[in-house]
Amino acid sequence: MRQTGTAYTVEEIKNLRLKGAIYIRMSTELQVESPENQEREIRAYADGYDIEIIKVYADLGVSGMTAEKRGQFQALLDDVESGRSDYQIVLYLDDSRWGRFVDSREADYYRMQLERKGVICQACDKNLTMTSTIADRIMTILKDESASEYCRQLSNKVFIGQCNLILKGYRQGGPAGFGLRRMLVDEFGKPKQELSIGQRKSLQTERVVLVPGPESERERICWMYDQFIAGRRESEIADALNANSWRTDFGRPWTRGTVREVLTNEKYIGNNLFNRSSCKLKSKQKANPENEWVRKEGAFASVVDAVQFYRVQNIIRDRHSKISDADLLARLKSLQLQTGRLSAMIIDESENMPPSSLYCTRFGGLLRAYRLIGYIPERDYRYVEINQKLRILHSDVLSKTISEIQRVCGRTIAIDSCTNLLELNHNLFMSIVISRCFISPPGIRRWKIRFDTGLHPDITVAVRMDSQNENIYDYYILPALEFGNNELKLQDENIELWDSFRTDSLHYILEMGINVNLDEVV
């Protein structure tokens, strides 16, 4: 009789006639030979124990630092958890292919999830014994921690390299911005060509720098600075630009946020900035304090004079600092008497009112400011009713989008009855999501956009609701290549960061419904 905990021999394992699954992962699509090599080695390992491979899971071009974007890894877990799997063992090349999780305990968590369902997890760089000794557990923990440490060290090295390139004056990704262009240079700094929006460098030795754009755009930037210094607000400048049919670098109408970007970004005085925000090791994106920013002054040719730039910054900083608390409350009370009710949106849309964020900063939240003027906002018990309206609205937006594209573009659109994904031109999949508005206790408006990552849409159209959740406020066109997380959180404090994806209508979606002739592209 076999003693508990005794290792199986190879012959004993062969007699079990195990059925197995293979898990393959590669981090980048450049590793074209990796999946084939992994599968070949794993099958050879399985043959040594007479394990019949009946299923292959492969995540190609996916980071192992998280399980969220690994569709096949999730399918593996789901198959075992739901009892749909017919195999008793899962084989992978080594522990790094299972995952390089930031928290090494996460790798063990997923293994335990399978093993408690009777499925063995086995790396092919270790002998198969069908048992787990203390030494085996310690060795696995050490390998998991080694994989995590590798990610941390690599992240630090990449960050140091990026900072070094910033200090040398090279651009590290992102669009150039209105009035600027991206110039591709060789390893000696010699210009090669101007890059259009969406174009990337092809050689590792190539670099990208910013150069001044067309004179007409530079003149408009200087005009914006002059107008702002003369006393015009960002919204007024945007209205004037739109009245002349002048568009942003993305061909979209100007907004308060896009004007503010031009007025506050240091790249317009030639400074190269990096690390203003970060999301290292798949963590949530966060804004960094200014003392952590990496700055190279005079990296590019400036578009506006530095004296003029800092004069604008001083105006923005001092714009509301001179308003006393008593004056702020008096304005708030006057607005309440005019409108009958108060909200962050009502405050922000009132031309002569300071922004709602200033009330939050001065008084610790909008609700406290309301109490100081004797205003008690009505509690909102319409949560269920709002959700019902939003479900109806989602159906209406789907129908409207389909009919408009078919009418304007003459294209047939398929809609998946199970997922509600729209299929345009047989090659573009689009998800439409409704983002309701939440108002936090301090009075800050927040929207949470949830991406249907499991459905893999190419584009997500987020329909943002107004503060009463009664009408559509605007739209956000969010390509999957730019947004890989499960959700995007918008609020009054960060809304300007995403202005380039914002639109007031479905006009840009209609343009996607038109197939472009290849000759026109060439």
* Cα(84)–Cα(75) distance, integer angstroms: 11
Per-residue pLDDT, 2: 45
Report yes or no on 159 lying in a domain. no
Backbone dihedral region for residue 374 (phi beyond 0: left; psi -120 to 50: alpha; all else: beta): left
Shared domain check, 233 and 354: no
Collapse the DSSP code of 325 into the 3-class scheme (helix H, G, I; strand E, B; otherwise coil) and give the result: helix
Task: Say which residues have a Cβ less than 8 Å from residue 255's Cβ, sequence separation at least 6.
Answer: 238, 499, 502
Per-residue pLDDT, 193: 86
Report yes or no on 338 lying in a domain. yes
Is 3 a residue whose pLDDT tops 60? no
Q: Which domain holds residue 292?
A: 180-318
C-beta separation of 500 from 197 below 8 A = no
Shared domain check, 217 and 104: no
Tally the domains of the chain: 4
Collapse the DSSP code of 494 into the 3-class scheme (helix H, G, I; strand E, B; otherwise coil) and give the result: coil
Shared domain check, 330 and 250: no
pLDDT in tens, 255-293: 877 888 899 888 899 888 877 666 665 556 666 777 778
**Confidence bin at 141 (pLDDT 50/70/90):** low
Shared domain check, 132 and 45: yes
The alpha helices in 449-517, defined as continuous H runs, are 507-512
| CB contact burial 92-107 (16+ within 10 A = b; e otherwise) | bbebbbbbbbbebebb
Tokens at 409, concatenated:
């573009």
**Confidence bin at 410 (pLDDT 50/70/90):** low
Query: Residue type for 198, please?
Result: G
Per-residue pLDDT, 106: 82
Shared domain check, 115 and 247: no
Query: Residue type for 216, please?
Result: S
Is 482 a residue whose pLDDT tops 90? no
Task: Select from 286, 278, 232 the least CA-distant residue to 493.
Answer: 286
Is 387 a residue whose pLDDT tops 90? no
Report yes or no on 396 lying in a domain. yes
pLDDT in tens, 67-108: 878 889 999 999 998 888 999 999 999 888 888 887 777 888
Please give the mean pLDDT across all residues of the chain.
Answer: 80
C-alpha neighbours within 13 Å on the C-beta side of residue 198: 3
Tokens at 356, concatenated:
């709602």
Shared domain check, 126 and 40: yes
Per-residue three-class SS string for 465-484: ECCCCCCEEEEEEEECCCCC
Is 474 a residue whose pLDDT tops 60? yes
Shared domain check, 257 and 309: yes
Mean pLDDT of 237-247: 91
pLDDT in tens, 151-196: 677 777 777 877 788 888 788 777 888 988 988 888 887 888 888 8
Report yes or no on 161 lying in a domain. no
pLDDT in tens, 309-355: 999 988 887 776 678 889 899 999 999 998 888 887 778 666 667 77
Provide DSSP, 143-206: HHHHHHHHHHHHHHHHHHHHHHHHHTT---SS---TTEEEEEE-TT--EEEEEPTT----STT-
Tokens at 460, concatenated:
């997500």
Shared domain check, 140 and 17: yes
pLDDT in tens, 197-208: 777 777 777 888
Tell me the β-bridge partners of 347: none
Q: Report the length, in residues, of the chain.
A: 522
**Confidence bin at 380 (pLDDT 50/70/90):** very low
Collapse the DSSP code of 515 into the 3-class scheme (helix H, G, I; strand E, B; otherwise coil) and give the result: coil
pLDDT in tens, 14-50: 999 999 999 999 886 556 578 889 999 999 999 999 9
**Confidence bin at 134 (pLDDT 50/70/90):** low
Tokens at 479, concatenated:
């390509």
Tell me the β-bridge partners of 20: 53, 89
Per-residue pLDDT, 55: 93
Give the CATH number, domain containing residue 132. Answer: 3.40.50.1390
Helix axes 256-264, 234-243, angle to 10 degrees: 110
**Confidence bin at 397 (pLDDT 50/70/90):** confident
Per-residue pLDDT, 425: 64
Shared domain check, 133 and 70: yes
Q: 89-98, 173-182, 393-402, 505-514: lowest mean pLDDT where?
A: 505-514
Per-residue pLDDT, 333: 92
Q: How far apart, in Å, are the Cα atoms of 30 and each of 26, 59, 75?
A: 9, 14, 24
